Amino acid sequence: MAPVTRGFGGRQHAQQPELPPGQYLVEDFPVLSAGPTPHVPPDRWELTVTSETGEQLRWDWDAFHALPQEDVVVDLHCVTRWSKLGTSWRGVSLDTLLADVETSADHVVAHSYGGYTTNMPLDELLHHKAWVAHTYDDEPLSPEHGGPARLLVPHLYLWKSAKWLTGLTLTPVDEPGFWETAGYHNEGDPWREQRYWGD
């Protein structure tokens, strides 16, 4: 058997230029969780957006579905090194949810049922780059993958796409979230391989 050469590895990489550095491709959809999975009935689900002045917008399930819906196909990149390409989602753009919010804040903290938090600059959620998704592959989003609804920020590592989303808080000061305070990078850009503090 001929030895595997470095050239062979190079051709493999050339065949998957869509993968960020250090990632490998999966066909299944791994489930990662830092705690028990909340099972939130849609009729008791709610989403709030709270500005730095305390003003709050609130949607229940029906009101959320009455907003303009978008279908998107995006690639997912988990910091644990798996990537899944071409995933199909339906949800509401953050541009829609934040359209009527008056704010001068530059940062957002996402809050989940169960207590998880993650932070990102407001600008990372705007300009058609992020959604609150409730449907995956034409099926209601399962609790294991963050249903009834999760944040979807596909251009950042997947820990930023908070499962079981229930709130977005706009803050003038950056407030690192659950993983960001425990060693993971504050920004989490997979194309710059921003995995850990100092990357």
CB of 26 to other proteins, least distance (A): 14
Q: Strand 56-60 and strand 46-50: pairing? A: antiparallel
CB of 163 to other proteins, least distance (A): 11
Among 10, 16, 32, 58, binds other proteins (CB under 8 A): 32
The backbone torsions φ and ψ at residue 186, rounded to the nearest 5 degrees and listed phi first, read -70, -25
CB of 154 to other proteins, least distance (A): 17
Among 172, 182, 191, 192, binds other proteins (CB under 8 A): 182
Q: How many chain residues interact with other proteins (CB under 8 A)?
A: 35
Positions in 47-76 near other proteins (CB under 8 A): none
Is the four-CA dihedral 59, 62, 68, 69 of positive or negative sign?
positive
By the rule CB under 8 A, 13 interacts with other proteins = no
By the rule CB under 8 A, 197 interacts with other proteins = yes
Positions in 151-180 near other proteins (CB under 8 A): 159, 166, 178-179
Residue 106 contacts residue 63 (beta carbons within 8 Å): no
Among 34, 66, 73, 99, binds other proteins (CB under 8 A): 34
Judged by beta carbon, residue 81 or residue 90, the one nearer other proteins is: 81
Judged by phi (left if over 0) then psi (alpha if -120 to 50, else beta), residue 198 lies in: left
Positions in 103-122 near other proteins (CB under 8 A): 111, 113-117
Residues engaged in binding other proteins (CB under 8 A): 31-41, 44, 46, 78-80, 111, 113-117, 143, 159, 166, 178-179, 181-184, 195-198
